[in-house]
Amino acid sequence: MIYDRLTTRYTFACPEHGDTRVALSSFRRLERLPGAAHPAVFGVRFECGCGEEHPGLVTHAELDWAPLGLGTGDSFLNLMTTRLEELEAELAELAATRIGAGEWPWSFFCYPENQPRPVFPSSFLLLAPSGRGGAVGLAVRCPVCSGTSINLVSAQHVDLPFHHDAEIGVVEHVFAADAAHAAEEFAAELYSAEFDARRLAL
């Protein structure tokens, strides 16, 4: 497992330092690879602490489910019983309770539909630091309309499940269906366009 639930970091190989640990907000590009579907595999590019971008691979489970504590096999020492107990059942119950109450782990604002939508990280396409107090530009493919929207969010909004910014920036533009080929357009919008503040009340 490359995801550490307690530190919210992914472990990848770095040619200079060996292993490196990065947050989801350090990813720059995510692309589902053709072929295997169970589990689906995503090719990612991430910004490393060495200052370079490197490629990596992550499974669908590590991307969408591991941050919720599911499928990690983590255990903890229960000091009351002095036994190792599975952490997954407790975290799964907590996540199910919050989702049942209408709170989704991740959300974004879909510009074509003009409303907030729940989403998983596997719907993220491109991420870029904006230079505005640690904010991250996030291109997301909407799971409902398949449109691509760009939001400006905090790193915590991306890295921490169930953390939602009170307001986010939204680029008021309808992007081409194939966002992978719109990387230059995304970067231009991120660095030059005005972001319209929207509320993410789900």
The verdict on 52 and 133 lying in the same domain is: no
For residue 178, what pLDDT is reported? 57
Torsion, Cα of 166, 42, 22, 102 (10° steps) = 30
Q: Which of 13, 46, 68 is the last residue of a domain?
A: 68
Domain membership of residue 96 (yes or no) is no
pLDDT at 118 > cutoff 60: yes
Give the mean model confidence (pLDDT) for residues 171-193: 62
pLDDT at 103 > cutoff 70: yes
The verdict on 52 and 117 lying in the same domain is: no
Q: Which of 41, 68, 95 is the last residue of a domain?
A: 68
Give the mean model confidence (pLDDT) for residues 133-156: 91
Where do we find the tokens 């590009």?
A: 29
For residue 192, what pLDDT is reported? 56
User: What is the chain's mean pLDDT, rounded?
Assistant: 83
Domain membership of residue 93 (yes or no) is no
Nearest to 49 by CA among 19, 79, 77: 19
Domain membership of residue 85 (yes or no) is no
The verdict on 195 and 119 lying in the same domain is: yes
Give the mean model confidence (pLDDT) for residues 118-128: 94
For residue 78, what pLDDT is reported? 76
Diameter over CA atoms, the chain: 57
DSSP result, 120-168? -GGGEEEEEE-SSTTEEEEEEE-TTT--EEEEEEEHHHHHSTT---SEE
For residue 102, what pLDDT is reported? 84
Burial 1-38 (b: 16+ CB within 10 A, else e): ebbebeebbbebebeeeeebbbbbbbbbbbeeeeeeee
Give the mean model confidence (pLDDT) for residues 139-168: 92
The CATH number given to whatever domain includes residue 61 is: 2.40.50
For residue 1, what pLDDT is reported? 53
Domain membership of residue 84 (yes or no) is no
Structural domain harbouring 195: 106-199
pLDDT at 26 > cutoff 90: yes
The verdict on 115 and 189 lying in the same domain is: yes
Instruction: Give the pLDDT band of residue 186 (cuts 50, 70, 90).
Output: low
| Contact between residue 29 and residue 45 where contact means Cβ atoms under 8 Å apart | yes
Domain membership of residue 92 (yes or no) is no
H-only helix segments in the chain: 60, 88-100, 155-159, 183-192
The verdict on 115 and 195 lying in the same domain is: yes
The total number of structural domains in the chain stands at 2
As a whole-number percent, the residues of the chain with pLDDT over 70 amount to 82
Instruction: Give the pLDDT band of residue 202 (cuts 50, 70, 90).
Output: very low
pLDDT at 45 > cutoff 50: yes
3-state DSSP assignment of residue 26: helix
Give the mean model confidence (pLDDT) for residues 96-105: 87
Domain membership of residue 171 (yes or no) is yes
